[in-house]
Amino acid sequence: MPHSNRLLVCEKVFVLRNGRNKRPRIPVSTQLKLWVTAGGRCEFGGCNEYLLRDNLTLSEANYSDIAHIIAASPRGPRGRDALPREKRSQIENLMLVCKKHHKLIDDKQHEQDYPKEKLLRFKEEHERRIHRLTSIQPDNKTTIVRFTSKIAHDLVAIPRGQIYEAIYPRYPVDDKGIEIDLTNLPGIDNPSYWKSGAQCIQERVTQCLSPGIQTPAVEHMSIFALGPIPFLIYLGSCLGNKIPSDVYQRHRDTEDWAWKKSGKVTGYRIINPNTIVSHNKVALILSLSGVVADEDLPKAILERCTVYRMTVDGKMPSPMYLRRRQELIAFKEHYQVLLRLIRATHPGLRQILLFPAVPAPVAVICGASRLPKVDPALVVYDYNQSKGTFYKTLTVR
């Protein structure tokens, strides 16, 4: 049967059904548009069932209903709304749903649980997601890297839904990605804590980034990491900078991972030492998410080391400062300039003592941006709250 004739038959059937129920006809063009914008899936929040196939038997048929948000009749569900009757069969007032959820939202017993505002939100969120997913280009694939470790004995989850929102218009190459989980490490007071964690990171990254028959080469990475700063710097070093990567920040105020698109971009300031105390002992202090005060440092650092510093420009250091992707890119540029300056001023330098108060993405960049065969090793210190001072943790070579 020609396509136009099939549509005509569908329209006649719909007219007859609605004629019997004395409801306005929904034009076939509107039905088709709704099917497209819904992606052929149920728009009820959290359902997403594909409506052209039974999930159990896999038999193919049309298992959908078109539901009115505001009923076509004033006596129907939510029908007393002020929406004019001639607009009630327009696409803005229609949802594509499975039969069980159509019954649920229209059932008198549950009608009050599904007001107009809630159903409109279901529709908007579903159709926006379908539009976003169908807009993705084939070359926007990325491998998700999730690093989790306890912070002060607490574990912060990294929900997949927030990851997918943050990486758009990219999309995950698979559901697995690279998972690095250090939550089962011995406590931080255990002598093997830092060494065991570093070994786990190195082994897992090596395993996942070595292409084989079953593991195709990683072409792009999206990195989501929460954990102690020394581990994140070590993670960045293991991942390196050979594979294009994006690193994401968890925003404390909105509790999501998507980079903000508005607001003033924070700059950075490099503070060079007034005098060269030593040519072969150098310390680098990063005061970005917090202030690293001189009294917090081991006494020997200020006495024996030439100290370089970087901080945010024009504002106090704060955990909330990093909100836009441009700020992370700017940090990388300043950090690489600072490493070149240190190399030029201290030729032959073997290591830099690093004292970081930085957000998680900055820590990853610190490790990833260092050139292993060119830049000095990083001896990373961490702050001990109970003792009120920094102590040595890992060396990144």
Q: What is the largest CA-CA distance in the chain?
A: 93
Closest by CA to 287, choosing from 364, 233, 236, 362, is 362
Q: What is the pLDDT of residue 278?
A: 92
Question: 149 near 185, Cβ under 8 Å?
Answer: yes
**261 falls within a domain:** no
Residues of the chain with pLDDT under 70: 1-23, 136-138, 152-155, 211-216
Question: 290 near 316, Cβ under 8 Å?
Answer: no
3-state secondary structure of 379: strand
Closest by CA to 290, choosing from 377, 385, 375, 378, is 385
Domain that holds residue 271: 267-396
Q: What is the pLDDT of residue 113?
A: 93
**Do 274 and 361 sit in the same domain of this protein?**
yes
Q: What sign does the dihedral 76-79-83-84 (CA atoms) show?
A: positive
DSSP 267: E
**Do 143 and 124 sit in the same domain of this protein?**
no
Tell me, yes or no, if the pTM score tops 0.85: no
**Do 7 and 127 sit in the same domain of this protein?**
yes
Number of structural domains in the chain: 3
Pairing of strands 377-384, 351-357: parallel
**Do 328 and 288 sit in the same domain of this protein?**
yes
Q: What is the pLDDT of residue 221?
A: 96
Q: What is the pLDDT of residue 22?
A: 56
CA separation for the pair 214, 228 (Å, rounded): 32
Q: What is the pLDDT of residue 303?
A: 92
CA separation for the pair 293, 299 (Å, rounded): 12
Q: What is the pLDDT of residue 211?
A: 66
**Do 238 and 313 sit in the same domain of this protein?**
no
Written as six digits, the tokens of 176 are: 């697995």
Q: Is 321 exposed, middle or buried (0-12, 13-18, 19+ CB in 10 A)?
A: middle
| CATH number of the domain that residue 201 is part of | 3.40.50
Whether omega before 376 lies within 30 degrees of 0, making that bond cis, reads no
CA separation for the pair 247, 225 (Å, rounded): 8
**254 falls within a domain:** no
**109 falls within a domain:** yes
